[in-house]
Every structure is written in structure tokens, then in C-alpha cells.
């Protein structure tokens, strides 16, 4: 089966909307296409003149270390229609987006695979390599304290400033304003928001009525060690006052060599991550739009 990759034509927007909805449902679709879609930042893979897969390159911010930073793009929403899966269409889109990132002078391009098996898949077929790790815990509602500090809701801008004060000095992605704005739109659709709880900050999104995802939990002392069980429980107990659920999934930075794989990257060889003594923590991806 011959695969051709290219940017979409103006009259192919309906095809892109159809691919997104078929694979992911409608969550985030209208917000993305209304505010952030650029045809020149999209790659489709076609066969016989019909778009079968698509993906997008989104400006993600800067990849930062103590003494270096570089521009970073995110590969987002790679989707293949069911009848075309297993034939290389998704791989063609990803490789097309990596090439596009290079043409646009991004020094780093990142991807957060939606399934664990995709790490091995992309490792064999693209230049992407495992790079970001995360601690992820599941906490049941019945284990939470009924007494907890009240969370303070923040604007996207307020959260971005607080977040950077916590992460400064660690290898991490400093998201641009559009990323926080898009997350805010997703929270408006699904429920959630940006919060501060004492010395912690958190991005919250409601997955279902029974599950809440804390997509990023950071503590003011993150550079001195992992979040303690007390900090985690206190934060979730606090957020449960706003978001009742049976289960809370929380993600926070992991020490080097710990946690689970979370994101992949292609990084320009000129980027200098950090000195060895500054590598106590795995690079932090941050917000993933899962």
C-alpha cells in the first residue's frame, strides 16, 4: 500500500475532524481546531487520495536545564482510521512531523505515547527515544482525610509562574502560554482547573465521574526530594472538596531511574541537559493532553 505524507489542503478540514472524532471522540477537538490548528503544522498520510491518518506539531515551549534551553515542539494527536492501522500510516505521520520540526528549527520535539507498547514501536521506527519519566499513583477516595486545607484556584498565568518557580533548575519543559490556555479550555469542557494547596500546585482534569486525574503535582521543595505521602494525601484530600470521585490518579516528578516511562524525545545534540550532579531527577514533561 503506497503512503504519501503532506500538509492538508484547505478543503480537507472535515477529514481531519472526522479522523480526530473517530479515534479520540470529540473532547478537545473544537477547542484545538478553533484556536491552535495550522495546516502547515499538520501532516496527513493518505492512500489513494484519501487521508487515513493525521497528526499535529504544536509549539510546546522550551526544554530547560540549569544552564541551557532550546525550543521545543510537541507531536500531538497522531490518529489513524481503524481500517488503515498496522500498515505504517501512523509511523509515516510521526516521521513527517519530526522532519517538520527540524525544518521549523525546533531543537527538541517530544511525544507522549498513549499506550505503553508504543514506546517500543516508535523506538524501532523513528528517531524518538525514551526521555521523560513520571511517578504515578492511584489513590482511592475512602483513604482520604476529611480535614484538609482549601484549594485556591489559579488562573493559567498564575499557575505558569508558580510552576516555573518550583521547577527552575531541573530539566523540564517550560510550557508556553498557549499550552496553559488549551489546558484551561479542556478543563472548561471536562471540569478541573489550576490550583495551589499550601506549598503544592496542581493541574486537575476530570476524566469521568468516578476518576479525577491530577496531571501535574509539584511541591515547593521538589528539588530536595520526592513528594512525601503526607503531601500527596493532603493535596488530594484538599482537591476532593471540589472534585468528588472514587479514584484519583496523581502524577509527579520521579528520581532518576524511578517511575514509569512517560514521554519520548528527539533532541538536538548541541543541547546540554545538565551536569551529572544535577541529574537527580528525571526530565519533567509536564502537562500531557491525554
- Same structural domain, 52 and 123: yes
Q: Is residue 285 part of a domain?
A: no
- Split at pLDDT 50, 70, 90, the class of 208 is confident
- Same structural domain, 50 and 18: yes
- Same structural domain, 176 and 209: yes
Higher pLDDT, 49 or 179: 179
CA atoms within 13 A on the CB side of 212: 26
- Split at pLDDT 50, 70, 90, the class of 258 is confident
Tell me what percent of the residues of the chain surpass a pLDDT of 70.
95
Distance between CA atoms of residues 204 and 202, nearest Å: 6
Question: Which residue(s) pair with 212 in the sheet?
Answer: 206, 248
Higher pLDDT, 222 or 153: 153
User: pLDDT value at position 49?
Assistant: 85
Of 166, 282, 284, nearest in space to 218 by CA: 166
Q: Is residue 43 part of a domain?
A: yes
Q: Is residue 89 part of a domain?
A: yes
User: pLDDT value at position 276?
Assistant: 43
Mean predicted confidence (pLDDT) in 223-229: 68
| Mean pLDDT over each residue of the chain, to the nearest integer | 90
Task: Name residues whose C-beta falls within 8 Å of residue 54's C-beta, 6 or more positions apart in sequence.
Answer: 8, 15, 16, 19, 20, 42, 43, 44, 45, 77, 78, 79, 93
Q: Is 146 helix (H, G, I), strand (E, B) or coil?
A: coil
Q: Is residue 288 part of a domain?
A: no
The answer on pLDDT for 290 being more than 90 is no
- Split at pLDDT 50, 70, 90, the class of 2 is confident
Range of the domain at 117: 4-132+258-268
- Same structural domain, 220 and 123: no
- Same structural domain, 53 and 84: yes
Burial class (CB within 10 angstroms; exposed 0-12, middle 13-18, buried 19+) of 60: buried
User: pLDDT value at position 224?
Assistant: 64
- Same structural domain, 197 and 78: no
User: pLDDT value at position 270?
Assistant: 73
Q: Is residue 284 part of a domain?
A: no
- Split at pLDDT 50, 70, 90, the class of 225 is low
- Same structural domain, 245 and 148: yes
How many domains is the chain built from? 2
Per residue in 100-141, pLDDT (tens digit) is: 999 999 999 999 998 999 999 999 999 999 999 999 999 888
The answer on pLDDT for 32 being more than 50 is yes
Q: Is residue 279 part of a domain?
A: no
Distance between CA atoms of residues 254 and 282, nearest Å: 6
- Same structural domain, 263 and 119: yes
Higher pLDDT, 169 or 213: 213
- Split at pLDDT 50, 70, 90, the class of 260 is very high
User: pLDDT value at position 279?
Assistant: 58
- Same structural domain, 67 and 201: no
Q: Is residue 282 part of a domain?
A: no
Question: Among 51-60, 76-85, 109-118, 254-263, which is the least confidently predicted range?
Answer: 254-263
User: pLDDT value at position 88?
Assistant: 94
The answer on pLDDT for 57 being more than 50 is yes
- Same structural domain, 190 and 128: no
Higher pLDDT, 68 or 110: 110
Distance between CA atoms of residues 149 and 239, nearest Å: 9
Helix (H) or strand (E) holding 133: strand 129-140
Q: Is residue 290 part of a domain?
A: no
- Same structural domain, 197 and 230: yes
- Split at pLDDT 50, 70, 90, the class of 277 is very low
The answer on pLDDT for 254 being more than 50 is yes
Q: Look up the CATH number of the domain holding residue 209.
A: 3.40.630.30
Helix (H) or strand (E) holding 161: helix 156-167
- Same structural domain, 211 and 145: yes
Amino acid at each position: 500500500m503506497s503512503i504519501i505524507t503532506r500538509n492538508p489542503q484547505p478543503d480537507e478540514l472535515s477529514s481531519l475532524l472526522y479522523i480526530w472524532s473517530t479515534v479520540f471522540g470529540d473532547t478537545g477537538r473544537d477547542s484545538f481546531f478553533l484556536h491552535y490548528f495550522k495546516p502547515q503544522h499538520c501532516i496527513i498520510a493518505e492512500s489513494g487520495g484519501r487521508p487515513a491518518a493525521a497528526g499535529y506539531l504544536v509549539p510546546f515551549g522550551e526544554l530547560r536545564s540549569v544552564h541551557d534551553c532550546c525550543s521545543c515542539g510537541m507531536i500531538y494527536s497522531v490518529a489513524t482510521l481503524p481500517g488503515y492501522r498496522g500498515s505504517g500510516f501512523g509511523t509515516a505521520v510521526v516521521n513527517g512531523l519530526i522532519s517538520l520540526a527540524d525544518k521549523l528549527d525546533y531543537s527538541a520535539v517530544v511525544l507522549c505515547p498513549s499506550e505503553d507498547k508504543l514506546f517500543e514501536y516508535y523506538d524501532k521506527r523513528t528517531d524518538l527515544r525514551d526521555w521523560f519519566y513520571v511517578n504515578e499513583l492511584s489513590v482511592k477516595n475512602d483513604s482520604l482525610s476529611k480535614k484538609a486545607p482549601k484549594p485556591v484556584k489559579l488562573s493559567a498565568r498564575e499557575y505558569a509562574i508558580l510552576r516555573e518557580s518550583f521547577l527552575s533548575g531541573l530539566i523540564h519543559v517550560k510550557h508556553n502560554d498557549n499550552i496553559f490556555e488549551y489546558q484551561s479550555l479542556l478543563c472548561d469542557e471536562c471540569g478541573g482547573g489550576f490550583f495551589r494547596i499550601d506549598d503544592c500546585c496542581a493541574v486537575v482534569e476530570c476524566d469521568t465521574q468516578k476518576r479525577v486525574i491530577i496531571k501535574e503535582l509539584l511541591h515547593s521543595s521538589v528539588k530536595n526530594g520526592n513528594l512525601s505521602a503526607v503531601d500527596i494525601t493532603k493535596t488530594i484530600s484538599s482537591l476532593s472538596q471540589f472534585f468528588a470521585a472514587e479514584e484519583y490518579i496523581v502524577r509527579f516528578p520521579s528520581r532518576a531511574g524511578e517511575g514509569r516511562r512517560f514521554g519520548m524525545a528527539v533532541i538536538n545534540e548541541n543541547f546540554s541537559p545538565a551536569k551529572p550532579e544535577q541529574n537527580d531527577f528525571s526530565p519533567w514533561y509536564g502537562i500531557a493532553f491525554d
